[in-house]
Structure 1
Amino acid sequence: MSVDPRGDRDDTGAAALDAYSQVVTSVARRLLPAVAAIAVSGERGGRHGVAGTGSAVVFTDDGHLLTNAHVVGSSDGGTVSFADGAEAGFTVVGRDRLSDLAVIRADGPTPPPAVLGDADGLTVGQLVVAVGSPLGLSGSVTAGVVSALGRSMPAQCGRAVRIIEDVIQTDAALNPGNSGGALADSSGRVVGINTAVAGVGVGLAVPVNATSTRIVTTLQQAGRVRRAFLGVATAPAPVPPELAERIGRRRGVRIVHVEPRSPAAVAGLREGDLMVTVAGEAVVDAQALQRRMFAEAIGEPLAITTFRNGAMVDVIAHPVELADGS
C-alpha cells in the first residue's frame, strides 16, 4: 500500500481554508443586512438625477447610517437599498470632510444596526472583511488582512487639501462603490469605513475608534464638526534607543509634513521631528494629537515637545479653526 507523504499537509491546509471560509461567511451573514447601497441625488451633466453611488452602514436603531463625506458630497439626500430588497429615501444629517465621514438617516425602516468595534486594537496581518456595493453590485464581500496602520491620505476640504491621519491600509479588494461600506474584524464588528482605493491591492479605511465616534456623535447632534488646525501630517516611527530609555517607549509619531504658514510652522515644528508629548500627554500614535484637535483647542496655547537632532525641543503652538471643514 502506498502512502501520500503530503496527506497530512493537505489535510492541515484544507482545515485552515475551511476555518478561513467559516470566518468570512460568518462575518458576511452578520453584516450584509446592515450594509446598504446608496444613490446620491444631485446634478450630473446638467440634469437632476443620480450624482454618485456608494455604500453605507446602519449603526443605530433609529435609522442612522455611516458613510463617507466624499460619497454624499454636497448633496442633501438620495436613496438607500438594502440586501432584502427594501428601499428608502435618506437625508444627510452631517458631513466632516477632514475625517471623510458622514451621517445620513433613512426615511423608512432599516435592518438592525451593525456592531461597531475599536480599530485601535487592530494589528498588522489581522484578517479583515470588506462589505459594500462595488461597481453597483450590492452585497459584495471580499477578505484580506490589515496591511499597515497609521497611514495618511489627502482629503479635499473646500478649496484646500488636508490630510486624513491614521487610516487603515488593507489588501481586501476594494472598487468604486465600496466607499462608505464596512471593514470588519473576524467577529463581525465594524472597525473601519472603506474610503479609497490607493492602488492594486491597496485599500484604505477610516478607523472606527474613540476619535471617530466623537465625530459621528457631533455630526448627529450639530451636523458639522468644528476643528482646530495645527498643520502637520504624521506617520508612525520607531523611537531612537537613546530616547526610548528616557521616555520608556519604543514607538512614536514623526512629523512628515508641515504646512507652510500654519500654526505648526509658526511655532517652529519641522519635518523629521519626533513628537514626544502634546499638552503633557505622551504621543504614541496619531490619535494622541487628533484627540485634541477639536473646538476647545482653537486659539489656545498647545505645548508640544519633540526630539530633534538628539535634543528635546519645546514649542508652543496656537491652533486655529479649520476653515471649509464642514
Structure 2
Amino acid sequence: MIPEPIPEPRDPDRPLDAYSQSVSAVAAELTPRVAALRVRQRGREGAGSAVTFTADGFLLTNAHVVGGAAGGQAAYSDGTTTSFTVVGTDPLSDLAVVRADGDTPGPVTLGDSDKLVVGQLVVAVGNPLGMAGSVTAGVVSALGRSLPTRSGNAVRVVEDVIQTDAALNPGNSGGALADSHGRVVGINTAVAGIGLGLAVPINSTTRRIIAALMHDGRVRRAYLGVVAAPIPVPASLRERIGQNEALRVAEVMPGSPAARSGLRPGDLVLTAGGSPVDQAQSLQRLMFADAIGKPLQITVLRNGAMVDVIAEPVELNIEHA
C-alpha cells in the first residue's frame, strides 16, 4: 500500500481559507458597531445587545431587552461607553429603537432578509453571557418561521423570522445577524433550543416599524378582527382564481370591522386591497397606520361565488385581544 502523504504543517503566513476570510471580515466590520446594553428597571438589571444603524446615534435592539426602561448604558468594544434613551418600543415585533447620548461608531449597513436562502452563511455579533464582542457563524437553517409575541392582551405573529444554527445565548438578543457581505439582515431575538436561534428579519415590513419608532416612538396598527389560516385552494378553483393558496376565515370577532363588513367564518379570503392573500401574514402586512379608518375591499369565495365586502379597520389597542 502506498502510504497517505503527511499533511504539510499550516503556514501561519498563508492566507485564510475563504470561509474564514468571510467570517473574519464581517467580524471586523460589525464588532465595533454592536454595543452591549445594560438597563435597570424595577430594581433589576438586564443586558443585551444593540446595533448602531444611523450616523447620529440611533441603535436597534429588541423590545424585550429594554422592557419598560427609559434608558441605560451602552458599551462598545473599543471601550467607549455612553448613556442612551429609549426612543420607542414595539413588543409585537420585538423591536426597539434607542438613541445614544454621546458619540457612537459609524452605522452598519442594513440588508434585505427577503433575499436570503436556506444554507446561506450568516454571522451573529453580540454580547452573550456578558462576553462583549462575541462572534459566531452558521447558516440560515430555515426561513418563513413565525414567532408569537404579546403586548398586554394583544397577540401577534412576527412574520418571516430567520432561523439559524449560529450559536446564540442570553445577551445575544438585540445583536446583529449579518450576511457574508456584512449587511445586517436580522436582529437576534430568541434562543429556541440547542443549535437553534431566531432573528427578527430586516425587510420592508420591519423598516416601516423602525421608521415609525424613530418618528413617533410607537407603531400604530390597524385592527380587522378576523382569525384566518392558510389552506390550499381546491384544484378545481385554482385556474379560475389564479391562486394556489388562500386564507380560510376561522373566526370573526363580534362587533369588529370584519363583522360589520359581513365577513363570515368559512369564507375563503382571496384578495385584500387588491393584493392576493395567500399566507397567514398577508393581512398583517396591510394592518399599519395608513389602513386605519380607510375602506379596505376584501374579495372572498363563499359557497362557490365571489363576494366583495368593504371593511374599515380601526386602530389596534389592548381591548382587541
Which TM-score band applies after superposition, normalised by the shorter structure? Answer: 0.7 to 0.9
Q: Which amino acid letter does the alignment assign opposite residue 140 of structure 1?
A: S
Equivalent position of 1:268 in the other structure: 263
Checking the alignment, whether the CA contact within 8 Å between 2:122 and 2:178 is kept in structure 1 is yes
Q: Distance in 1 between matches of 2:195 and 2:304?
A: 38
TM-score (norm 1): 0.81
The residue that corresponds to 1:173 in the other structure is 167
1:148 and 2:142 correspond: yes
Q: Distance in 1 between matches of 2:278 and 2:169?
A: 32
Q: 2:146 and 2:93 mapped to 1: Cα distance?
A: 11
Cross-structure match for 1:2 = 2
Residues 67 and 102 in structure 1, CA contact (< 8 A), matched pair in contact too: yes
Calculate the TM-score normalised by the size of structure 2: 0.83
Q: Which amino acid aligns with 1:196?
A: A
The alignment's C-alpha RMSD in Å is 3.2
Structure 1: give runs of 5+ residues left out of the alignment: 8-16, 45-49
Bigger mean CA deviation after superposition, 123-132 or 26-35: 123-132
Rate the CA distance shift 1:307–1:120 in 2: closer, same or farther, 3 A. Answer: farther
Q: Which among 66, 81, 101 is matched to residue 60 of structure 2?
A: 66
Q: SS at 2:31's partner residue?
A: helix
Amino acid at match of 1:129: V
Number of the residue aligned with 2:39: 40
* 147-156 or 86-95, which deviates more: 147-156
The 8 Å contact of residues 53 and 107 in structure 2, kept in 1 or not, is answered as yes
Query: Which string of whole-angstrom CA distances, capped at 9 and with x for unpartnered residues, describes residues 218-272 of structure 1?
Result: 211111121102345777776665555445565x56569757545456653658x
5 Å-filtered alignment, 1:220-239, equals 220-231=214-225
Which range moved further: 215-224 or 230-239? 230-239
Is the Cα–Cα contact under 8 Å of residues 229 and 250 in structure 2 kept in the other structure?
Answer: no
Gapped regions of structure 2 (runs ≥ 5): 8-15
Task: Tell me, yes or no, if the aligned pair for 1:152 and 1:233 is still in contact at 8 Å.
Answer: no
Could you say what secondary structure the match of 1:123 adopts? coil
Between stretches 68-77 and 161-170, larger displacement belongs to 161-170
Using the TM superposition, give the Cα deviation of residue 103 of structure 1 relative to its aligned residue in structure 2, in angstroms: 0.6
In the alignment, which residue of structure 2 is the partner of 1:27?
Answer: 26
Select which of 46, 51, 56 maps to 1:52: 46
Residue 210 of structure 2 corresponds to 216
Q: State the shift of 1:303 in Å.
A: 2.4
Q: Give the distance between the partners of 1:62 and 1:293, measured in 2 at CA.
A: 30
Of 312-321 and 203-212, the range deviating more from structure 2 = 312-321
Question: What percent identity do the matched residue pairs reach?
Answer: 64
Flag the structure with larger Rg.
Answer: 2
What is the CA-CA distance between 1:152 and the residue it aligns to? 2.0
Contact 1:66–1:180 under 8 Å retained in 2: yes
